[in-house]
Amino acid sequence: MIPFNRPHLTGREFAYIQKAVEAGQLAGNGQFTQRCHSWLESTLGAPRVRLTHSATAALEMAALLLDLQPGDEVIMPSFTFVSTANAFVLRGATPVFVDVRRDTLNIDERLIEAAITPRTRAIVPVHYAGVSCEMDVIVDVAKRHDLVVIEDAAQALLSSHKGRALGSIGHLAAFSFHETKNVMSGEGGALAINDERYLERAEILWQKGTNRSAFAQGAVDKYTWMDVGSSFLPGELVAAFLLAQLEETRSITAERMASWERYLDACAPLRAHGADLPSIPAECQHNGHLFRVLLPQHVSRAETLRTLNARGINAVFHYVPLHSSPAGRRFGRTASSMEVTDDCSARLLRLPLWSGLSAEVPPRVAAELMAAVLAHA
């Protein structure tokens, strides 16, 4: 069986974990946490980055920073993971879903302005597959309507838009280090704070609602409860594991990009049968996070997946659109036609891809996929 994902180890994870144990601090915000912060801030060009125990937690921090009230609205794509919406629903806000672009499956920037109401507080572009949304347009719309931009960059570490790192463009940005991501710590995430208005309060929220960071820096003689907050910090063992991964991010990304390019070449003949392959805008540098295929309209995805898995290839589908889910209908609303979202989400499948994938795998997978498409046409 060729698995869909295989967690990649750099070779230094266990040595760093041992050092963390020997240092005698296993709770969060030790030396490895701080080294991860420094790496991320330097790489992204972000004023401050704080590790969290997941990208979900990073988005929840972002929602807290906005002081959202019941009835406030947040614009986002429907084609995304549930955390993108849940973080704001927890604060009483309403997710407002708009359709995606057919080429990138990212939010269609042309539909955002029409979705804005007096209750709108933020726009959440999701960089699907590590490919950038059209950030110039999104930032311009946000400026004209005094809205906050929160990048869901869960899949986008080391991706960029016109040379700017994804996660450094919006006011806030969330990253994921889940096992399926390019760089991982099992579970993990980070919040990038790019707007100085949020720096001080983000530190308090991150420290469970206390001014503990100010106390550690000698700015106050004791720390106390100052604001809402939660236990967002991961433990030091997670940070130690993550640092070993971050130090190899560029080589990991290069390996994934090589496999992604092999898939693109090997799957090219599928286009003649009506399949759609990824199309990357010229201004975007992606990170090879995933390779997806949109099957021809007349081909059953369920049958194709069964065939591939029977042949030892663990291909998988992706998101069920949030607007059509039970919770999406309950908590959110749509602000546009969802034609592209509905069509593409029903035809999409993802192929096995991880750092270190053998060069022989993409051609084999592509051949089996072609056979399955022809068999189920």
CATH number at residue 183: 3.40.640.10
268 and 323 both lie in a single domain: yes
Phi first, then psi: give them for residue 319, nearest 5 degrees: -60, 140
- 104 in any annotated domain: yes
* Beta carbons within 8 Å of 183's beta carbon, 6+ residues apart: 157, 177, 242, 245, 246, 248, 249, 252
> Domain range spanning residue 336?
249-375
Q: Which residues are within 8 A (CB) of 215 and not within 5 positions of it... i.e. 6 or more apart?
A: 221, 222, 223
Work out the number of other CB atoms within 10 angstroms of the CB of residue 329: 12
The secondary structure element, H or E, covering residue 44 is helix 31-44
Q: Establish if 2 belongs to a structural domain.
A: no
Q: Are 207 and 270 found together in one domain?
A: no
Please give the chain's pLDDT, 377 residues, in tens: 999 999 999 999 999 999 999 999 999 999 999 999 999 999 999 999 999 999 999 999 999 999 999 999 999 999 999 999 999 999 999 999 999 999 999 999 999 999 999 999 999 999 999 999 999 999 999 999 999 999 999 999 999 999 999 999 999 999 999 999 999 999 999 999 999 999 999 999 999 999 998 888 888 888 999 999 999 999 999 999 999 999 999 999 999 999 999 999 999 999 999 999 999 999 999 999 999 999 999 999 999 999 999 999 999 999 999 999 999 999 999 999 999 999 999 999 999 999 999 999 999 999 999 999 999 87
- 328 touches 96 (CB < 8 A): no
Distance in angstroms (rounded) separating the CA atoms of residues 275 and 24:
55
292 bridge partner residues: 350
Distance CA 177, CA 257 (A): 18
Domain boundary among 223, 246, 269: 246
Whole-model pTM above 0.85? yes
Tell me the C-alpha to C-alpha distance, in Å, between residue 255 and each of 11, 206, 349: 16, 34, 21
- Say if CB 68 and CB 93 are below 8 A apart: yes
Q: How many residues does the chain have?
A: 377
Cβ contacts of 119 within 8 Å, gap of 6 or more = 71, 72, 73, 94
* Region label for 233, one of left (φ > 0), alpha (ψ between -120 and 50) or beta (otherwise): beta
**Is 115 found in the same domain as 82?**
yes
End of a domain among 246, 264, 293?
Answer: 246
Count the domains in the chain: 2
> Count of CB atoms within 10 A of residue 87's CB?
27
On whether both 90 and 226 belong to a single domain, the answer is yes
DSSP string spanning 307-373?
HHHHTTB--B--PPPGGGSHHHHHH-EESS--HHHHHHHHHEEEE---TT--TTHHHHHHHHHHHHH
Residue 22 to residue 255: CA distance in whole angstroms: 33
Specify whether 253 is located in the same domain as 155: no
